[in-house]
Chains A and B, each alone.
Chain A
Amino acid sequence: MDSRRDRGRYFTKKKVCRFCTETIEMDYKNVDLLSRFITDRKKIVPRRNSGLCAYHQRQLATTIKRSRFMALLPYTVLH
Chain B
Amino acid sequence: MAITPNYYETLYITRPDLPEEDLAKIQQKLQDSISNNQGEIVKAEKWAERELAYEIQDHKRGIYYILVFKALPDASKEIEKHLQFYNTDILRFMTLKITEEAANKNKKSKEDKTPKAEPEPAPKVEAEPEPAPKVEAEPEPAPKVEAEPEPAPKVEAEPESAPEVEAESAVSENAEEVKVESEAKAETSEEVKSTQEEGGTQ
Contact = CB atoms under 8 A, between A and B. Distances in A.
Interface of B is mostly: mixed
Interface size bucket, A side? 20 to 34
Given A69-B94, A70-B94, A71-B92, A3 B199 contact: yes
Interface in A19-69: 22-25, 29-30, 32-33, 36-37, 39, 45, 49-51, 66, 68-69
Contact of A71 (B54, B134, B149): B54
B201 to A, nearest CB: 9
Contact of B145 (A30, A37, A66, A73): A37
Output the residue of B64, B94, B140, B146 with the most chain A CB within 10 A. Answer: B146
B143 A70 contact: no
Interface residues of B, number: 36
Contacts of A49: 149-150
B62 A71 contact: yes
B139 A30 contact: yes
Nearest to B135: A25
Contact of B11 (A15, A29, A51): A29
Contact of A66 (B52, B94, B200): B94
A74 B53 contact: yes
Interface of B: 11, 13, 47, 52-56, 62, 64, 91-92, 94, 96, 102, 131, 134-136, 138-140, 142-143, 145-146, 149-152, 154-155, 195, 199-200, 202
Interface of A: 2-3, 5-7, 10-11, 15, 18, 22-25, 29-30, 32-33, 36-37, 39, 45, 49-51, 66, 68-75, 79
